Amino acid sequence: MSRFRFRLEASLRLAEQVLDQARIQLAQETERYLACLKARDVQQGSWQEAVHGQREAGSREPEYLSLWRAYTEKMVAILKIREQELLAQTECQEKARLAVIEAHREVEKLKRLKEKQREAFEREALRQEQKVLDETGQVLYQRLQIANNEHRTWTVDRRTVPVSTSGLRTTNHEPRTSNIE
């Protein structure tokens, strides 16, 4: 019996490689997202410190109030940049996640196709094997019938007559010749 060979095996391996690459890309994008999130949180802390310093300067040191205000505005501008970077990275991460989902679908589709083809191949192999077994059984049955007929005798007019393998009685009659000349 021949063994099963999936004709799209190369496509399946390629799809699995694409899936692995997509997973790696998603992991990298997630790391970048986490770095952006951390940078934004650090910047938000700096902005909150600047706001606190501005309040302190407004109540205790009015001469430094303009410096704290400028510093706070700079921290707000940087915080907005960090939030935009975080938003952009969220989009990149979502694209990478969708690429992983699509690659996974392609791999699963090819795996299901491979399994269906394997099952069809196995059904066909079993059908062929059953056909051979049926033919072998028929041949063995016919041989058994022939062997049984060779040892079988018929009783005709209280005499036992052996039966030939062709199923005809054996006789010693000469063939008839015609008188036409």
pLDDT in tens, 117-167: 999 999 999 999 999 999 998 988 888 888 777 666 666 666 765 655 554
Share of the chain above pLDDT 70, in %: 82
Question: Cβ-count burial of 97 within 10 angstroms (0-12 exposed, 13-18 middle, 19+ buried)?
Answer: middle
Domain boundaries, the chain: 9-121
Using the predicted structure, report yes or no on whether residue 181 has a pLDDT greater than 60.
Answer: no
pLDDT score at 177: 54
Token pair for 50: 């600047």
* pLDDT, average across residues 50-72: 88
As a whole number of angstroms, the distance between CA 107 and CA 15 comes to 6
Residue burial 101-124, b: 16+ Cβ < 10 Å; e: rest: eebbebbeebeeebeeeeeebeee
CB 132 within 8 A of CB 123: no
Is this prediction's pTM over 0.75?
Answer: no
Q: CB within 8 A of 173, min separation 6: which ones? A: none
